[in-house]
């Protein structure tokens, strides 16, 4: 290992650590907001039927911000893009307090759009973790940042109680006190990004790409950027997210229809979220060790199992919960492996743009799936929704087989496997 490699390996873990810290702070903000969004929408509009618009506008905010944040990263680097995004989200939290105070529904939903930018930052942060990685660490670095979301997601909702006390002491409108924590955590996250992301990982990766390197650059040796792999990776990430959102969004309604208490619903969703994030580092290691496409296939298998369990046990809360946990695990495997494949199948100069497009497609797919799921549920029930979602899984699997077969016929590098020029993790360790 050369002196340059040693210096690079010292920078990468520190950058990943900064991204983890920012992700935790961002998760605290998002957790507090998501917990209260529907309630505030119902309070301000006076209609429970409109309460679901809170989630819709939060998702749309993330989708709308994905490409502009990516373009900002292209021009100025990750540091400015991530900090700007969390500051906009903090502004949205402050704006939410004003909207509730004035009882303005339009203002409230516009504020939720800004708050949703924080989710776009979280998605971009996972890609930022790959900027200085090579093919032996890329998925693991990404997965650690994804895993950090779990901490914020758990802490955020638990700040609702203390936030309410603080808000009452300050004379704020009912249920807006927790947004103070969102503001503070957003400001702290921006500071972490601005101070900690030095050197800027994206700008540094470009510099290294220009200078060449020792075979441990941002693009894995022997892994040729391929449009077919890139298109498949975006498809896999987006459709896996759509399947997860469609079933997850309808699960609370299904459980309520069969008499389960709110506590059961909340516990089931908590287990699902744990399934989404808790095993992320495991899937990162597996993706680096055995290949991205193989892990996408594993993710689709887990999604299929989850859908069958949910369909068969549609009237049993235990089986529904089991299916939802497996659904989260399948989403995790597919998203981590697919996101890593998006990065390494794209030339360095184009990565932020393609990554932004991936996040846009992912969020729009989730929003569309959530909207259509209610219609499907009304027509064929929860079990029917789960079985119908199997068709989406089949599309991803078929596309995967097609892209692998085509790459082998055309002599392209199969990004799902180590290549003769690419050191495996064990070889890299021995060389180090």
Query: Sorting pLDDT into bands at 50, 70 and 90, what band is 35?
Result: low
Q: In this model, does residue 18 exceed pLDDT 80?
A: yes
Give the mean model confidence (pLDDT) for residues 286-301: 94
Pick the CATH number of 1-218 from 1.20.1250.20, 2.40.30.10, 3.40.50.970, 3.30.70.1400: 1.20.1250.20
Cβ atoms 242, 368 nearer than 8 A: yes
- What's the CA gap between 141 and 131, in Å, rounded? 10
- In order, the DSSP letters of 379-419 are HHHHHHHHHHHHHHHHHHHHHHHHHHHHHHHTT---TTS--
Give whichever of 2-16, 39-53, 245-259, 346-360 has the largest mean pLDDT.
346-360
| Model confidence pLDDT, tens digit, residues 325-378 | 999 999 999 999 999 999 988 888 888 999 999 999 998 988 888 778 888 888
- Give the N- to C-terminal CA distance of the chain in Å, as an integer: 5
Q: Average model confidence (pLDDT) for the chain?
A: 84
| Domain 1-218 shares a fold with domain 220-432 | yes
Q: Would you kindly state where each structural domain of the chain is located, as residue ranges? A: 1-218, 220-432
27 or 375, higher pLDDT: 375
- What's the CA gap between 412 and 281, in Å, rounded? 29
Q: In this model, does residue 139 exceed pLDDT 70?
A: yes
- What's the CA gap between 32 and 158, in Å, rounded? 8
**High-pLDDT (> 70) share of the chain, %:** 84
Query: Sorting pLDDT into bands at 50, 70 and 90, what band is 96?
Result: very high
CATH architecture, range 220-432: Up-down Bundle (1.20)
Q: How many CA atoms lie within 13 A of 110 on its CB side?
A: 9
Q: In this model, does residue 401 exceed pLDDT 90?
A: yes
- What's the CA gap between 59 and 48, in Å, rounded? 19
| Model confidence pLDDT, tens digit, residues 215-255 | 333 333 334 457 889 999 999 999 999 999 888 878 877 78
Q: In this model, does residue 397 exceed pLDDT 50?
A: yes
Give the mean model confidence (pLDDT) for residues 6-35: 79
The predicted pLDDT at position 204 comes to 92
Q: How much of the chain is in helix, strand and coil states, percent to nearest 5?
A: 80, 0, 20
Cβ atoms 347, 225 nearer than 8 A: yes
């Amino acid at each position: 290992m050369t002196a340059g490699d040693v210096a690079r390996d010292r920078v990468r873990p520190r950058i990943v650590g900064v991204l983890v810290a920012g992700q935790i702070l961002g998760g605290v903000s998002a957790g507090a907001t998501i917990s209260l969004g529907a309630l505030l929408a119902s309070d301000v509009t006076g209609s429970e039927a409109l309460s679901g618009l809170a989630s819709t506008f939060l998702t749309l905010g993330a989708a709308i911000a994905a490409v502009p944040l990516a373009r900002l990263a292209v021009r100025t680097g990750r540091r400015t893009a991530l900090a700007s995004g969390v500051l906009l989200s903090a502004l949205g939290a402050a704006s939410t307090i004003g909207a509730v105070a004035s009882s303005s529904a339009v203002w409230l939903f516009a504020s939720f759009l800004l708050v949703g930018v924080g989710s776009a930052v979280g998605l971009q942060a996972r890609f930022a973790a790959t900027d200085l990685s090579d093919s032996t660490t890329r998925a693991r670095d990404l997965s650690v940042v994804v895993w950090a979301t779990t901490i914020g997601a758990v802490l955020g909702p638990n700040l609702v109680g203390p936030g309410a006390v603080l808000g009452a002491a300050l004379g704020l409108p009912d249920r807006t006190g927790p947004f103070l924590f969102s503001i503070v955590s957003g400001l702290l996250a921006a500071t972490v990004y601005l101070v900690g992301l030095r050197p800027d990982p994206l700008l540094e990766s470009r510099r290294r790409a220009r200078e060449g390197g020792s075979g441990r650059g941002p693009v894995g040796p022997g892994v040729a950027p391929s449009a077919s792999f890139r298109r498949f990776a975006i498809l896999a990430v987006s459709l896996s997210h759509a399947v997860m959102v469609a079933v997850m969004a309808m699960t609370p309604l299904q459980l309520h229809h069969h008499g389960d208490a709110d506590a059961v619903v909340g516990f089931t969703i908590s287990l699902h979220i744990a399934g989404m994030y808790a095993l992320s580092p495991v899937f990162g290691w597996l993706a680096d060790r055995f290949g991205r496409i193989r892990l996408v296939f594993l993710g689709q298998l887990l999604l299929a199992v989850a859908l069958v369990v949910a369909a068969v046990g549609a009237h049993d809360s235990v089986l529904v919960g089991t299916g939802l946990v497996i659904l989260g695990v399948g989403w995790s495997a597919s998203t981590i492996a697919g996101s890593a494949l998006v990065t390494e199948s794209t030339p360095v100069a184009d990565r932020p743009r393609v990554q932004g497009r991936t996040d846009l497609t992912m969020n729009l797919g989730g929003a569309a799936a959530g909207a259509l799921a209610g219609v499907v549920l009304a027509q064929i029930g929860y079990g029917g929704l789960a079985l119908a979602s199997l068709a989406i899984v089949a599309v991803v699997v078929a596309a995967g087989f097609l892209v692998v077969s085509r790459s082998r016929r055309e002599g392209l590098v199969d990004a799902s496997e180590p290549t003769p020029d690419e050191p495996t993790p064990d070889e890299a360790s021995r060389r180090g």
